[in-house]
Structures are given as structure tokens and as C-alpha cells.
């Protein structure tokens, strides 16, 4: 029998080399960024040049441990290839050179670029992805939106939130039956400004909970603000005939779409418009509509317009409709751009910019999205606690996040929430998610929570 053992101060187990230590230490915990340590090696960019920045943090890779107490700046390679590429920022352990660190790995340019493959060779080099960075052709700076987080964690426990009470502005009375309608219909889990959703369930803290605060990732979907449903007739101008399109399959939302038969004599201008109640749209970020033409159009031949005067006679904002294939009903998404002059909009319209002859245009459900801030707080209860006197801790919030219709987006509450009560193994946690009542939160409708995951530090 051959037996190996280490480490000891003397004897056969006193001589411990890298391979032996790694074999032992990798049993202690899985690879990953150390959850809750400093700024967790967050990679970000701030348009300060061809570079990204890596915040302080610590990482565990194959029994190796590294940490940084100051922020690092990593230069990114230039790109004059003619196509974009994706680079990777990774933490690595290099057994050949006896080092650990954070490095940039340059990808291969392509029309549809993919991230480079990481090195994972035991005993030589092992890399752990922290982020991907989109590098445009001819870029001069890396923007915040070019960085995508890919960190995986160790020492992190996870609670998947399973259900919420109905949205409220006030806390419930736990001595009465206030559970509301059940189910996990995400449209029910919708938050207006200042509203919050409390979890239906309590979550028992596991034995490995090591103390400290809670962080969270929340998957959101916007309830878009309806600028006009297109269910009620628009006003058509000369040489344009308006009709309600209520045939099933030919409208997309509500009970009808607007159908405009534009005669060849029309040429250009506002084809049709709709009066709406005055609304401040200055903080909206995207505008959407379903639109179809019976002839092919190119970018900008049609426009969606809004105006602070009646009948869209002098539009304050005009958005180019993308190219449309003949007869195809298309959901169009357009970035709003500068909306500073859109504080009192009273009409919305369809404009023909280029005379392409007679055409039939169908328009449905004009809507918009803005930005939101989501927060979380928590309370931890012990057996025998009085729910009505238990106090939640102070909330922490996500960054201001732009909502996209039909596109769920994940937001992170990255600052640890200090729970009220007694956070400890065996006690019971309850979480509350809120939409911040903040002037910068400009989304005019609700934001729905599809799912939420809460994270905490664990002992190993």
C-alpha cells in the first residue's frame, strides 16, 4: 500500500509542492470569484479609451487563491480588421510561471464574432471567464454597454424566489389572510413606482450561511406604456382612406388595427393622426409599433411622428420606420434619441416621407418603454417571531436600467442588503422587491418581475 499525506512540519508530509497542494485545496470549494469579497472582480468600461477596468476582488481556481486590493486597468488590442470581435477578460492560474492574475484574451474578428476559447489545461494554465468585451471595427473607446458579465461564484448560496404577494404601497397585516390570488403569472407581479412585492414564502437559511448581506438578480419585463392602442379610428388626411382592421390574425393587440389605404395622389406628408391626452414622453427610451405595408419599403420612407400640437402639423419628433418586406407584419423597435422637447405630446401620426405611389399600411399598438430602478430589502425571523412587529432592513437598489418590450432584462442588486431581524443559519428569511420612487425612473407603466434569485455567503 502506498499512502500520501501532508502538510506536516516534518517527516514525509513536510515537503508539499504545488501539485500536492492543488490536489488537496481544490476539494475545499469550487472554482469562482469569491462572493461578497470587495467588488467581486467586476469588469466595466467607462468610454475612457481602448481599455476596461477590473474592480477589486478575489478568486479561487483549482486550489489557488488570488486577490486584488486596488482596481486594475487592462488595455484592449486595436481592431482594424473590418469586422467586430469579442475579447474575454479572465482570471487565470499559470502553474508554469507560478502566477495568478487577470488577463485579456483577444478573439478572432468576424461578421458574427464568437468569444475565444479559454485555456483549461490542468498543471499548465486554467482560465475562468469574468466578462466578454465587444470590440467594434475601428473602435476608439470601450463603452459600458460593450461589456457583458460572465462571472461565476464560489461561496455563494442561492434562493430562488417562488412567489409574491400582490403589489402594494403598504405592508400587509400578517394576522389576517392576505395572501391574495396565487400563481406565478408574471403579469401579476407588476410594479408601479413606489410599489413593492413581498415573497409569499419564508426561506429557511441553510446551515452553511456564513453571515453578511443578501444580493440579488431580478429578471424584468416591461408592461409597455400604450401611446395608442389603434383600437379606435385615426383621422386620415386627403387621399387616404382609414378603416378598422378587426379580422383575427390581421391585428396584433387589442381588438383592431388601423388600416390606411394611401392613394397615388397623396404623395408625401402626414397620412393619418390620432389625438391623445397630453403626456410627458421626455424620459422614454424606445418606441414600438406593429406595422405592415403591402409594398416593400426602405428605411425612412415611412415615419412615426409625435407632436405637441394638434394633428401632427409640426412634429417635434420623427422616427424612421425600418425597411419593411411587402405584406409582412413587423414589430418595429426604434431608439427614441433626444426627447427633451417632448414634455406635452398631444398627437401621434404616420408620415409618408418618400412618394412610392399607392400603398396600404396597417398600424397597430404604438407603445413606449423607459428606465426603472429595482430595489430589495429583507427580514429574517426566528421561530416564534411576531410577523407584524418584524422590521425589514434598508433597501439597496439596481442601477437605472432601460426596459425593452418583448425583451426580458436581468438587473443586479449588487450592494449587499442588510436584513432586519436575526440573519443566522436555521432562521427564516422573507424578501421584498420594490420599484424606486425616483425622478430618473421614467417608465410610464409597470415593470413586471418574472423571476428573482437571492444570493448570500456560504461557509465551506
Q: What is the mean pLDDT of residues 180-201?
A: 69
pLDDT at 437 over 70: yes
Cα(317)–Cα(269) distance, rounded to whole angstroms?
A: 14
> What is the set of domains in the chain, with CATH numbers?
30-154 (2.60.520), 157-223+371-457 (2.60.120), 226-369 (2.60.120.260)
Whether residue 413 contacts residue 454, with contact meaning beta carbons closer than 8 Å, is answered with: no
Find the range with the poorest average confidence among 31-45, 211-225, 287-301, 377-391.
377-391
The angle subtended at Cα 154 by Cα 152 and Cα 156, nearest 5°, is 100
pTM beyond 0.75: the answer is: no
Cα(243)–Cα(257) distance, rounded to whole angstroms?
A: 9
Beta pairing, strands 85-94 & 317-320:
unpaired
Return mean pLDDT, the chain. Answer: 89
* 426 — pLDDT class (breaks 50, 70, 90): confident
Whether residue 28 contacts residue 18, with contact meaning beta carbons closer than 8 Å, is answered with: no
pLDDT number for residue 179: 38
Whether residue 68 contacts residue 74, with contact meaning beta carbons closer than 8 Å, is answered with: no
Given 3-state DSSP classes, what are the helix, strand and coil percentages for the chain, each rounded to the nearest 5? Answer: 5, 45, 50
Q: What is the mean pLDDT of residues 210-233?
A: 90
Where is pLDDT greater, at 256 or 157? 256
Tens of pLDDT, residue by residue over 115-128, are: 999 999 998 999 99
Amino acid at each position: 500500500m502506498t499512502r500520501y499525506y501532508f502538510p506536516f512540519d516534518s517527516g514525509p508530509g513536510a515537503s508539499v509542492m504545488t501539485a500536492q497542494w492543488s490536489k488537496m485545496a481544490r476539494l475545499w470549494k469550487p472554482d469562482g470569484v469569491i462572493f461578497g469579497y470587495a467588488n467581486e472582480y467586476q469588469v466595466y468600461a467607462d468610454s475612457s479609451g481602448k481599455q476596461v477596468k477590473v474592480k477589486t476582488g478575489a478568486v479561487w481556481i483549482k486550489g489557488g487563491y488570488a486577490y486584488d486590493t486596488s482596481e486594475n486597468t487592462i488595455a484592449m488590442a486595436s481592431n482594424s480588421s473590418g469586422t467586430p470581435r469579442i475579447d474575454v477578460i479572465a482570471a487565470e492560474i499559470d502553474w508554469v510561471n507560478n502566477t495568478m492574475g487577470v488577463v485579456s484574451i483577444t478573439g478572432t474578428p468576424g461578421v458574427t464574432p464568437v468569444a475565444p476559447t479559454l485555456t483549461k489545461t490542468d498543471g499548465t494554465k486554467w482560465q475562468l471567464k469574468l466578462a466578454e468585451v465587444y470590440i467594434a471595427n475601428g473602435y476608439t473607446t470601450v463603452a459600458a454597454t460593450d461589456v457583458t458579465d460572465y462571472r461565476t461564484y464560489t461561496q455563494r448560496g442561492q434562493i430562488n424566489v417562488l412567489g409574491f404577494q400582490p403589489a402594494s404601497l403598504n405592508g400587509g397585516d400578517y394576522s389576517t389572510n392576505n395572501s391574495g390570488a396565487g400563481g406565478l403569472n408574471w403579469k401579476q407581479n407588476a410594479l408601479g413606482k413606489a410599489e413593492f412585492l413581498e415573497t409569499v414564502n419564508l426561506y429557511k437559511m441553510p446551515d452553511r450561511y456564513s453571515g453578511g448581506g443578501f444580493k440579488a438578480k431580478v429578471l424584468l419585463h416591461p408592461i409597455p406604456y400604450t401611446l395608442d392602442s389603434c383600437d379606435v379610428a385615426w383621422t386620415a388626411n386627403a387621399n387616404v382612406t382609414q378603416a378598422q382592421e378587426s379580422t383575427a390574425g390581421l391585428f396584433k393587440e387589442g381588438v383592431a388595427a388601423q388600416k390606411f389605404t394611401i392613394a397615388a395622389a397623396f404623395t408625401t406628408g402626414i397620412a393619418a393622426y390620432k389625438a391623445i391626452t397630453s403626456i410627458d414622453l421626455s424620459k422614454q427610451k424606445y418606441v414600438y409599433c406593429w406595422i405592415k405595408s403591402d409594398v416593400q419599403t426602405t428605411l425612412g420612407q415611412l415615419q412615426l411622428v409625435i407632436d405637441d400640437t394638434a394633428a401632427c402639423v409640426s412634429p417635434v419628433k420623427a422616427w424612421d420606420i425600418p425597411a419593411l418586406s411587402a405584406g409582412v407584419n413587423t414589430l418595429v423597435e426604434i431608439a427614441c434619441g433626444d426627447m427633451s422637447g417632448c414634455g406635452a405630446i398631444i398627437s401621434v401620426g404616420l408620415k409618408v416621407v418618400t412618394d412610392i405611389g399607392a400603398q396600404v399600411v396597417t398600424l397597430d399598438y404604438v407603445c413606449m418603454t423607459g428606465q426603472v430602478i429595482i430595489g430589495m430589502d429583507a427580514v429574517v425571523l426566528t421561530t416564534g417571531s411576531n410577523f407584524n412587529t418584524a422590521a425589514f432592513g434598508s433597501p439597496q437598489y439596481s442601477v437605472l436600467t432601460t426596459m425593452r418590450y418583448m425583451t426580458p432584462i436581468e438587473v443586479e442588486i449588487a450592494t449587499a442588503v442588510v436584513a432586519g431581524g436575526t440573519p443566522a443559519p436555521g432562521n427564516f428569511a422573507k424578501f421584498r422587491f420594490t420599484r424606486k420612487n425616483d425622478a430618473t425612473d421614467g417608465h410610464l407603466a409597470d415593470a413586471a418581475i418574472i423571476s428573482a434569485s437571492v444570493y448570500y455567503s456560504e461557509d465551506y
